[in-house]
Amino acid sequence: MYLFNTLKKRKDEFVPIDESNVRMYVCGPTVYDRAHLGNAKTPVAFDVLYRVLCNKYGKEHVTYVSNITDVDDKILDKHKKTGKPIREITEQTYQWYIDDMAKLNILPPNHRPRATEYIDEMIELVKLLLKEGHAYETNGHVLFDVDSMPGYGFLSGRSMKEMLAGARIEVADYKKNPADFVLWKPSDADQPGWNSPWGYGRPGWHLECSAMSAKLLGNTFDIHGGGADLIFPHHENECAQSMCAHPGEKFANYWVHSGMLMVDGVKMSKSLGNFYTIDEVLEKAPAEALRLLFLTTHYHQPFNFTFEGLEAAKQTLDKFYNALLRVKDVAAKADASADERVVGALEDDLNTPLALSYVHELVNALNKAEAKEEKQELKGKLLKSAELLGILWQDPQEWFRGDNADEAQEIEALIAQRAEAKKNKDYALADEIRNNLKKRGIILEDSPQGTTWKKA
C-alpha cells in the first residue's frame, strides 16, 4: 500500500508501526458555523482511507481519531456577534456537522474528542515544553520557542522568511521570534477558561491536536491527516511541540493531505459569492452525488466544484442504480469481495478516479449479464467495491424516488388506483394514469410481483 507522504514529498510505501493497531488522526472542524464544502471534501477522502485500512488490516485493527475544536477565537467572535451562549453555538454546530457527515455516508471515527475534554492533557504538555526549555512565559502567555528546535519548518519545507511571509502568524512585541506561537493564553472573566499554573486561560489551537492525539494514539502513530491548508502553520507547529515534548519520538510517520478546494476555478470565498455550505449544496442534489463528485478527482490534487459536475455525478449514480434496479430480485453472492482492481487502485495512494473507472466496467458487465450466477457474482463484486468508496449504499428504488415523502405517497396512491382500474378492466384509466405519471418523469415498471416506479 502506498500514500503520498508530505513529510518526504513523495509517494511512500505504507508500513504501519503495528499491524494489529493501525492508528490515524485527522484534524476535524472548529464548530462555530455551518460546515462548508471544504469541510466535506477532506472527511470524504479520509473516510475512503479508513475504509481501505479496515479492508486491509481488519476493522478491529484500525483506530481512527478525528477531533472537534470547541474552544477557539472564532467561536468567541460568533458569541459576540450573535449574543448566543458559547455552549449553545458549539452544540448546535457540532450536531449540524455530525448530520452532514452522516448524509455523506462518512463512517464515524473510533474517537471524536472535543478539545474542552482534554484540557488537563494540554496543561501537562505545556509543562513538559517548559521543562525541556522549548517554551517561555511572557505577558500572561506561554509561547513555544521555535528557535529552540533545530530544523523547525521541516514538514512544510519552508524557510523562516517564507514562514513569516503571509502566514497566519500573530504579531506581538512580547515574542522572542515573530514565529513563536501560543501554547496558553489568558482569558477574560467572560471568556472560556480553565485554571492553570499560568493563570486562568485557554489553550492555543495547535496545542489541542497534539494533546488529544498523544492521549488516544500515543506519542508516535502512523498517519496524521488534514487539508493542505493546515500544513503550515498548524501541522508544522503540532510537529514542533509534540516532538520537543517527547524527545526521540517521531509524532506521525505519514503526513497525508487533501488538496485545496475551488469553486468554478477560483478559491471559495464569501466575498466572491461562491461560498457554499454543505446543506446549501444538498438542497440541489443528493448527498451521494456530492460524495461521488469528490471522488472523481484524486484527493491529493486541487478539486474544482461546479454545479454542472454535481449534476453529472447524479447522472452517473442514476446509471449505477439503474443497473442494480434491473437485478433487484437477484441476491448478491454472499461471500463476494471487492474487485481486486478497485482494491489495487485504492491501495495505490487512494486513486479514486481509477477505482471508479473499474466500477463503471462492473456496471457495464452487470447490464450485459444473462446467467443468474453471473449476475450474483457481479452484483456482489460491485456492491463490495462501492462500499470501499462509500457509494451505492441506498436501495435503488429509494434512490430514484428521491426524498419527497409527500410525492412518493401520492404516486403510490395513483399506482394503487391504476391497479384497481386494471382489475376492473378499465384499461383507458390505467393508461391515463401511466401517461400522466410519465409526463411528470415517473416511469412505471410492471412485473409479476407488482408495479414499481422510479424517476426518469
Burial of 6 (0-12, 13-18, 19+ CB in 10 A): buried
Written as one letter, the residue type at 204 is G
Q: Give per-residue pLDDT as tens, 35-55.
A: 999 999 999 999 999 999 999
Over the chain, what is the mean pLDDT?
A: 94
Name residues whose C-beta falls within 8 Å of residue 435's C-beta, 6 or more positions apart in sequence.
Answer: none
User: How many residues in the chain?
Assistant: 456
Which pLDDT value is given to residue 385? 98
At 222, list the grid cell: 502512523
Q: Give per-residue pLDDT as tens, 138-179.
A: 999 999 999 999 999 999 998 888 877 755 567 788 899 999
User: What's the mean pLDDT in 5-18?
Assistant: 97
Q: Which residue has the cell 403510490?
A: 412
Which pLDDT value is given to residue 190? 87
**Whole-Å CA distances, 34 to 29, 169, 281:** 10, 25, 12
Helix (H) or strand (E) holding 169: none
Highest mean pLDDT among 286-290, 397-401, 448-452: 286-290
Q: What is the DSSP track for 123-137?
A: HHHHHHHHHTTSEEE
Cα angle 294, 298, 302 (rounded to 5 degrees) comes to 80
For residue 291, list its beta bridge partners: none
Which pLDDT value is given to residue 169? 67
Least confident of 37-51, 165-179, 366-380, 406-420: 165-179
Name residues whose C-beta falls within 8 Å of residue 167's C-beta, 6 or more positions apart in sequence.
Answer: 232, 233
3-class DSSP state of 441: coil
Strands, sheet with 266-267, edge to edge from the N-terminal-most edge strand: 266-267, 261-263, 303-305
Q: Give per-residue pLDDT as tens, 265-292.
A: 999 988 888 999 999 999 999 999 999 9
Q: Of 64, 118, 98, 389, which Cα lies nearest the Cα of 256?
A: 64
Which pLDDT value is given to residue 168? 59
Helix 372-389 and helix 340-347, axial crossing angle in degrees, nearest 10:
10
Name residues whose C-beta falls within 8 Å of residue 56's C-beta, 6 or more positions apart in sequence.
Answer: 1, 347
User: What's the mean pLDDT in 381-405?
Assistant: 89
CA 370 distance to own-chain centroid: 38
Which pLDDT value is given to residue 446? 86
User: What's the mean pLDDT in 326-330?
Assistant: 91
User: What's the mean pLDDT in 16-25?
Assistant: 98
Instruction: Please list the alpha-helical segments (H only) found in 83-189.
Output: 86-103, 119-131, 160-164
CB atoms within 10 A of CB 409: 9
For residue 348, list its beta bridge partners: 2
Q: In this model, does residue 214 exceed pLDDT 90? A: yes
Cα angle 166, 171, 177 (rounded to 5 degrees) comes to 95
Give the residue, 413 or 235, on which the prediction is more confident.
235
Q: In this model, does residue 343 exceed pLDDT 90? A: yes
The pairing of beta strand 22-26 with beta strand 62-66 = parallel
User: What's the mean pLDDT in 102-114?
Assistant: 98
Cβ proximity of 249 and 219 under 8 Å: yes
Which pLDDT value is given to residue 455? 73
Which pLDDT value is given to residue 117? 97
- Using CA atoms, how far apart are residues 168 and 290, in angstroms rounded to an integer? 30
Name residues whose C-beta falls within 8 Å of residue 121's C-beta, 6 or more positions apart in sequence.
Answer: 211, 212, 214, 215
Q: In this model, does residue 405 exceed pLDDT 80? A: no
User: What's the mean pLDDT in 431-441?
Assistant: 92
Written as one letter, the residue type at 69 is T
Domains of the chain: 2-258 (3.40.50.620), 275-398 (1.10.730.10), 404-455 (no CATH)
Which pLDDT value is given to residue 413? 87
